[in-house]
Amino acid sequence: RALEIRSESHTYPIYIAAGLRHQTADILKGLGKSTFSAVLIVTDETVGPLYAEEVAASFADEQPLYICTLAAGEQSKSMETYYELMTFALNCHLDRNSVIVALGGGVVGDAAGFAAATYMRGIDYVQMPTTLLAHDSSVGGKTGINHPLGKNLIGAFHPPAAVIYDTETLYTLPEKEWRSGLAEVIKHGWIQDPELLKVIKDQWLDLSAVPVDVLNDTIRQSIQVKAEIVQLDEREAGIRAFLNFGHTLGHAIEAEAGYGTLTHGEAVAIGMDFAMKLSGKVLGSSLDSEAYNEEMIRLGYDLTIPASCEPETLLAHMKRDKKAAEQKVRFVLLQEAGVPLVRPVEDDTILDLLKEEMTI
Ligand code: NAD
Ligand code: ZN
């Protein structure tokens, strides 16, 4: 029942179910590399105390097992933490046959994944996502850390050997983090699978009370959307750009409002709202952004662009974005639900709409 994800180097399974953390060792054994020389669990200070011992307990004493606990939050995607991770791994004598288990959200996944990509020119790692947002990073093979000059600037494509998604762990997430991840699910719905939007509308009335089977199915469907797009476009040349829906303005807002003020998904939710309105102006699409607004507010999102952001600086940021290859900002717009396309948009059109939005 695992989802199979094809990457350039290999195919790997994504297991999604409640309680999988107790079966970690068995799942690893099933990967056909029965003897890992050592296991290094990388986690953070919030997730570690909740789940690391349970993951560790699934292993018999067949091989040495170590736990490395990073500080929680984006700060752990740093050069310093990377260096500490390398030192930790070397001190544990990890070798080319060892495995890193990334137990945590996107931060742990990215940092531990990058460590695995570069330790002795690359060793296996397994992702155990514990946030809803991390369903997004479980496909695509991107790993990396930040530089003071920008996010995710240092990294590698290094797909995991497997993804073990224990959905039971999601219930300890704070609401803000639920919302952050749910925005990416909603994004996948808008760009490819409108059916997902219906499921969320009908069954995600109260975030922390979503039944686990609904959670499993939704995550599975959402991962499938990303997998389809990524598999069609392995190196970000064409349609992978659709995954940037809501992200052009979203990234600008995150940066201008200050990282940590809003979660990634909260900023993307605002960006999707903006991209929908822009789709109306540029393509004449008749998307019901009123309904989008209502639905998002019901789920607890605030779609107002933070007052600390200026329209001009937001635009300047979008033009700096590494994805804006040419002069004009390239936006992912929607012809209709499920039909995205990429269009360069005039600065004035963007500015006018930003100003309109920010004076309401
Ligand atoms: P995160 O890893 O910082 O987790 C958010 C917070 O929730 C942290 O404080 C964490 O300790 C806590 N937490 C995690 N799981 C928990 C649980 N089960 N119970 C209680 N608390 C828990 O952030 P995130 O939102 O998961 O990921 C954000 C990062 O992911 C960013 O750095 C982003 O760049 C990266 N990302 C990468 C990709 C990719 O393709 N590689 C895709 C999207 C995002
Ligand atoms: Zn995103």
The amino acid that residue 150 corresponds to is G
Tell me which of 172, 187, 216 is where a domain ends: 172
Q: Which is catalytic among the residues 135, 158, 187, 247? A: 247
Tell me: the pLDDT tens digits for 93-145?
A: 999 999 999 999 999 999 999 999 999 999 999 999 999 999 998 898 999 99
Lowest mean pLDDT among 66-75, 125-134, 313-322: 313-322
Site to probe by mutation for ligand 1, drawn from 50, 103, 110 as the one with most ligand atoms within 8 Å of Cβ, is 110
Tell me: the pLDDT tens digits for 20-54?
A: 999 999 999 988 776 899 999 999 999 999 999 99
Count Cβ atoms within 10 A of the Cβ of residue 26 and give its class: 0-12 exposed, 13-18 middle, 19 or more buried: exposed
Question: How far is the centre of ligand 1, averaged over its atoms, from the C-alpha of 289 (Å)?
Answer: 28
How many CB atoms sit inside 10 A of residue 132's CB? 27
Average pLDDT over residues 143-157: 94
3-state SS assignment for residue 17: strand
The amino acid that residue 260 corresponds to is G
Range of the domain at 156: 3-172
CB 112 within 8 A of CB 52: no
Number of domains present in the structure of the chain: 2
Q: What is the dihedral of CA 190, 191, 194, 195, to 10 degrees?
A: -120
CB 91 within 8 A of CB 116: no
* ipTM of the predicted assembly exceeds 0.95: yes
On whether residue 211 sits in a domain, the answer given is no
Distance (Å, whole) CA 59 – CA 138: 23
Question: How far is the centre of ligand 1, averaged over its atoms, from the C-alpha of 345 (Å)?
Answer: 31
Q: HSE-up of 76 (CA within 13 Å, CB side)?
A: 24
On whether residue 219 sits in a domain, the answer given is no
Distance (Å, whole) CA 257 – CA 310: 10
* Ligand 1 pocket, Cβ-based, cut-off 6 angstroms: 44, 46-47, 50, 72-74, 77, 104-108, 110, 130-131, 133-134, 136-137, 140, 142, 152, 169-170, 172-173, 177, 180, 264
Q: In CATH, what number is assigned to the domain containing residue 118?
A: 3.40.50.1970
- Per the model's pLDDT, the better-predicted residue between 321 and 141 turns out to be 141
For the CA of 268, the nearest ligand: 2
Tell me: the pLDDT tens digits for 258-276?
A: 877 899 999 999 999 999 9
Q: Which is catalytic among the residues 135, 244, 256, 330? A: 244
Distance (Å, whole) CA 303 – CA 54: 38
Tell me: the pLDDT tens digits for 211-223?
A: 999 999 999 999 9
Q: What confidence score (pLDDT) does residue 326 get?
A: 58
| First and final C-alpha spacing in the chain | 48
304 labelled ligand-binding: no
| Annotation marks residue 240 as catalytic | yes
**CA angle, residues 191, 192, 196, in degrees to nearest 5:** 100
Is there a single domain that holds both residue 37 and residue 150? yes
Q: With a cut of 70, say whether residue 325 has pLDDT above it.
A: no
How many CB atoms sit inside 10 A of residue 298's CB? 11
Is there a single domain that holds both residue 76 and residue 184? no
**Residue ID of nearest Cα to ligand 1 atom 28:** 106
Q: HSE-up of 286 (CA within 13 Å, CB side)?
A: 0
The confidence band for 360, taking pLDDT boundaries of 50, 70 and 90, is low
Q: Which is catalytic among the residues 21, 77, 135, 142? A: 142
Tell me: the pLDDT tens digits for 162-195?
A: 999 999 999 999 999 999 999 999 999 999 999 9
Distance (Å, whole) CA 19 – CA 41: 17
What sign has the CA pseudo-torsion 6, 204, 336, 310?
negative
Is there a single domain that holds both residue 312 and residue 164? no
10 labelled ligand-binding: no
313 labelled ligand-binding: no
The confidence band for 235, taking pLDDT boundaries of 50, 70 and 90, is low
Distance (Å, whole) CA 211 – CA 215: 6
Is there a single domain that holds both residue 84 and residue 182? no
Average pLDDT over residues 57-68: 93
Q: What is the dihedral of CA 33, 35, 40, 43, to 10 degrees?
A: 50
Q: With a cut of 90, say whether residue 342 has pLDDT above it.
A: yes
Is there a single domain that holds both residue 135 and residue 257? no
Task: Give the number of the atom of ligand 1 that is nearest the alpha carbon of residue 263.
Answer: 25
Kindly report the pTM of this predicted structure.
0.93
Question: How far is the centre of ligand 1, averaged over its atoms, from the C-alpha of 353 (Å)?
Answer: 31
| Annotation marks residue 176 as catalytic | no
**Residue ID of nearest Cα to ligand 1 atom 1:** 105
Query: What b/e readout covers 35-74, taking b as 16+ CB neighbours within 10 angstroms?
Result: ebebbbbbbbebbbeebbeebbeebeeeeebbbbbbebeb
Return the axis-axis angle of helices 264-283 and 347-359, rounded to nearest 10°: 120
For the CA of 151, the nearest ligand: 1
| Annotation marks residue 343 as catalytic | no
Is there a single domain that holds both residue 250 and residue 335? yes
Q: With a cut of 80, say whether residue 150 has pLDDT above it.
A: yes
Is there a single domain that holds both residue 109 and residue 242? no
Q: What confidence score (pLDDT) does residue 62 get?
A: 84
- What proportion of the chain, given as a percentage, has pLDDT over 70? 97
